[in-house]
Structure 1
Amino acid sequence: MIERIFQSIPEGRLSEADQQSFLVSLGWSRGATWNDLLRSRRVLIISEAGAGKTFECRSQARLLSDAGEPAFFVELAGLAKGELRSLLDDEEEARLDAWLSSQSDVATFFLDSIDELQLSLGSFERALKRFKKGIGSQLGRARIVITTRPIAFDEELVRGLLPVPPVSSTESNEEAFAKIAMRTEKKQQNSNRDEEVADWRTVALMPLSDAQIVDFARGQGVESPAALLNDLQRRNAQEFARRPQDLIELCADWREHKRIRTHHDQVAANVRIKLQPRDDRSEAAELSVDRALEGASRLALAMLARAV
């Protein structure tokens, strides 16, 4: 499994956090990993669709659960329509009850906007309120990771509805939370970094680096991933390989053709990929890729005519 990198979003640049060119300009050095992020109590992750946010959150929830920690993956679109418990299976609900009664453990909640098209400002707010109600008065023992859109209002709403309660002791927030979150404390005890842990972090999930493209392609069964990267670099086409969702399709194309096709072919293939129906959610209506492509072409033509 590739260890993805996160970068803090500079002040005033939130609206650009889903733009690949902006993220690449930040670079991958001095980025944060999941171990770094989970030291904070509130984490907002902002990146473009297809960047892998949902996969990462699901994987982390599973890893924490397998380690015996209370961790939950919840879709925000589901919370906008129903209560927290209605989205959990029997095992998860039992785990939630055990955490609520423990009065000491920290639970990690991954609230994911996998279906962003169904999240209006009103439904996003409703989802957060239902989550808050679902965990009662236990915000102080909850670590919350939210994937959301690059909209300042969303960030303000999260901060307003899911605040980090003050610690009523002589200890700092960071010290108290670190004592409760023993997993992250133990993982960091050999670290040489002594920086203060922020309660809140707003980060972007970085696109795949060149090295990660090679590792990812190898995992997709590409026999010569270095050759694929070299061909991408030669054609200046890395932008078509930095999103996992796109790279999966590119690897399938490479296995068949053993080369990166022309820029026109890559753009055309990239557009068709984005117009394919999602396999991780139900669609409102059946729509073939060809019909979707025709509709997208008409919209593009209309926008071009308007611009002229």
Structure 2
Amino acid sequence: MSGREPIVPLVRRFSPTLSPSDDESTDSEAVHPYLFGKNSSGWEVIEEKRRCVIIADAGAGKTHEMLARARYSAERGRYAFFIRIENIREAFASAFDVGDAESFEKWIGSEDDAWFFLDSVDEALLQDPLAFEEAMRAFAARIADARERAYIIISSRSYAWRARTDRQLLDQLLPYESPKANEIGEEEIEEAVQTGMSDPNKLTNSIDVVILDDLDEDDIRMFAAHLGASDIEEMMQEIKKAGLSSLSSRPYDLLGILTKWRSDRQLGGRLGYLKHSIAVQLDGINWTACSIDPSILPEAVGRIAASVILTGKAEIRVPGSANDERGFDPIEVLPDWPRENVVALLDCTLFTDAVYGVVRFRHRDIRELLAAEWFADQLANPERRAEIEAMLIREKYGERILTPRFRPMLPWLVLLDDRIRREVTAIRPEIAVEGGDVASLPVEERRSLFHSIVEQIAEGKDDRGARDNDAIARIAHADLSSDVAALVERHAENDDALFFLGRLVWQGQMTDCLPLLLDIARSRSRGLYARIAATRAVFTTGSKEQRDTLWDSLLEVPNKHA
């Protein structure tokens, strides 16, 4: 295929994360990076970890990084394997994108180390809530005789990673025997003491969870320059003005922004530029061997995207390939299309290169938007509306619930159908900020959603979908600053609400809220996470006087007799 994503010489970094709390149920606790004292590291450090999980959101480039690193490791002469987690149980022999079953068996019989790059927890969960656990059990059985020689790196979206349960699962299924205390160097012991680890023998016994760092402004400038963008500083200002800073920090989204910048010299919201990106990629299809009416292409890719959601199968079988096990057959979705037209459609840059006769949507946000547009078209048909609504929202034990399979698509669908938006956000208001482009909604609707989200967090009734930094960034706009200040004051004693609001303040640069957060950051009686969020808000957004005041307070030695 041609027109694939360019290779830009970025050096990606990873930040360590806070361990889940021991004194509360943290299955769905958000993953947060350390605020102080922990430097980010590169791949050379990640690959020295025996068991590591990389957390990143859509478009951050984790699959690209994992795949590229697996190839690099293989080229260096290592045993290296890139495997899609959702394929481990049913088609292990053909599950390798890097390496193959023959090399795997050769490694098992050797005495060498191997590096496994397993991608991705969230794709596995599209098929079945237990799919990740079952895949890990199958994988653990496969490597049981060589487990101590395996370096295992797993990727996941933040919302799919269960902070306690998944750690415990991996510790149970893929344990790594720690070196004895006398085999640990002085530097490792010193690090253990500094990080509060009471027993140096446990140094390598836990799962390392890291976050793939966003691109910083220098990375964005390098990326843009490498792709030949002009007026880069003007573009950087436009990105900030349009509220697209969080999106530009991820390679895939930055590609879309650059494409729109080159064509229009201005940027719209997330919804606008993704639509632009889809149109550009469909327009670039090579129809040399066949012909087709371009106007039917959006509906066709929408059908395929909806089929991915409906079947839970992320892979699409290329017509004519030898594969008959993986993915679903798009001919069933496009029965009136000639085979050669389906092949040409799957060859466009909306999809990945074919591996073992299957492709997948290159970016999940585009897949989910296309699926949402297809479902919105079905909802517009009065004869189908009741049927579609029943698929999306079900009743169980007298309570209305959202069907889990459709959740990744709903942040887009709530933008496209007013009735669905009212019904979905009445059940789970955080859906509106888990993806999509909530900033495109009128301010009054955003204000109502924001208040509902904060109230659910304060009451412990949310499912944490709105608590990750990307979700917060989607709603952290200056026109809600007065609402944030009022809610900080209202929930001044609620650490969960403050942790959410504090991060919203620093992402939205809401300086009006800082006096209250400064008091919270200085208070030693407040919870750790509330103080972390308040401290970061002050240090990233506050005046020099506010920063100095907080720093002096943090350096004070508490009076034990007070």
Q: Quickly name the TM-score band, shorter chain normalised.
A: 0.7 to 0.9
Q: Which residue of the other structure, out of 288, 291, 299, is the alignment partner of 2:374? A: 291
Q: Which residue of the other structure, out of 255, 259, 269, is the alignment partner of 2:273? A: 269
> Aligned partner of 1:157: which letter?
L
What is residue 36 of structure 1 aligned with on the other side? 45
305 and 122 in structure 1: CA distance in 2 versus 1, 3 angstrom threshold: closer
What is residue 6 of structure 1 aligned with on the other side? 14
Q: CA deviation at 1:33?
A: 1.0
Question: 2 CA distance for matches of 1:28 and 1:269?
Answer: 38
Where in structure 2 are the equivalents of 1:1-308 lying within 5 Å?
1-12=9-20, 15-17=29-31, 30-83=39-92, 85-88=93-96, 92-103=100-111, 105-113=112-120, 115-148=123-156, 149-152=160-163, 153-166=165-178, 171-172=183-184, 198=204, 200-261=207-268, 265-270=269-274, 277=305, 281-282=315-316, 290-292=373-375, 296=413, 297-298=416-417, 299-305=420-426
Deviations 1:190-242 (CA, angstroms, capped at 9, x unpaired): xxxx9577453111112221111222223444234333223223444302212
Larger deviation, residues 213-222 vs 287-296: 287-296
What is residue 518 of structure 2 aligned with on the other side? none
SS in structure 1 of the partner of residue 117 of structure 2: strand
Percentage identity across paired residues of the two chains: 24
Question: 2 CA distance for matches of 1:121 and 1:270?
Answer: 29
Indicate if the aligned counterparts of 1:220 and 1:248 stay in contact, CA closer than 8 A. Answer: no
SS in structure 1 of the partner of residue 90 of structure 2: coil
Aligned length: 279
What is residue 180 of structure 1 aligned with on the other side? none
Question: 1 CA distance for matches of 2:35 and 2:46?
Answer: 18
Q: CA deviation at 1:169?
A: 11
Indicate if the aligned counterparts of 1:241 and 1:247 stay in contact, CA closer than 8 A. Answer: yes
198 and 136 in structure 1: CA distance in 2 versus 1, 3 angstrom threshold: closer
77 and 229 in structure 1: CA distance in 2 versus 1, 3 angstrom threshold: same
Q: Structure 2: state its 5+ residue gaps.
A: 1-8, 22-27, 193-202, 279-300, 309-313, 317-326, 335-369, 380-412, 430-447, 449-562
> Aligned partner of 2:174: which letter?
L
Question: 2 CA distance for matches of 1:91 and 1:34?
Answer: 19
94 and 48 in structure 1: CA distance in 2 versus 1, 3 angstrom threshold: same
Question: 1 CA distance for matches of 2:149 and 2:258?
Answer: 43
Question: 2 CA distance for matches of 1:134 and 1:288?
Answer: 36
Indicate if the aligned counterparts of 2:107 and 2:114 stay in contact, CA closer than 8 A. Answer: yes
Indicate if the aligned counterparts of 1:5 and 1:28 stay in contact, CA closer than 8 A. Answer: no
Question: 1 CA distance for matches of 2:99 and 2:371?
Answer: 38
Indicate if the aligned counterparts of 1:28 and 1:209 stay in contact, CA closer than 8 A. Answer: no
Question: 2 CA distance for matches of 1:237 and 1:72?
Answer: 35
What is residue 478 of structure 2 aligned with on the other side? none
Question: 2 CA distance for matches of 1:202 and 1:143?
Answer: 14
Q: CA deviation at 1:127?
A: 0.7
28 and 64 in structure 1: CA distance in 2 versus 1, 3 angstrom threshold: farther
> Aligned partner of 2:232: which letter?
P
Question: 2 CA distance for matches of 1:234 and 1:90?
Answer: 41
91 and 59 in structure 1: CA distance in 2 versus 1, 3 angstrom threshold: closer
Quick one: higher RCO (CA 8 Å, sep 6+), 1 or 2?
1
SS in structure 1 of the partner of residue 211 of structure 2: strand
Deviations 1:34-83 (CA, angstroms, capped at 9, x unpaired): 11111110101122222211111101000000111110000000013233
Question: 2 CA distance for matches of 1:241 and 1:89?
Answer: 28
For normalisation by structure 1, the TM-score amounts to: 0.75
99 and 168 in structure 1: CA distance in 2 versus 1, 3 angstrom threshold: farther
Indicate if the aligned counterparts of 1:215 and 1:225 stay in contact, CA closer than 8 A. Answer: no
Q: CA deviation at 1:99?
A: 1.9
Indicate if the aligned counterparts of 2:221 and 2:232 stay in contact, CA closer than 8 A. Answer: yes
290 and 273 in structure 1: CA distance in 2 versus 1, 3 angstrom threshold: farther
> Aligned partner of 2:30: which letter?
E
What is residue 184 of structure 1 aligned with on the other side? none
For normalisation by structure 2, the TM-score amounts to: 0.44
Indicate if the aligned counterparts of 2:113 and 2:150 stay in contact, CA closer than 8 A. Answer: yes
Q: CA deviation at 1:27?
A: 9.2
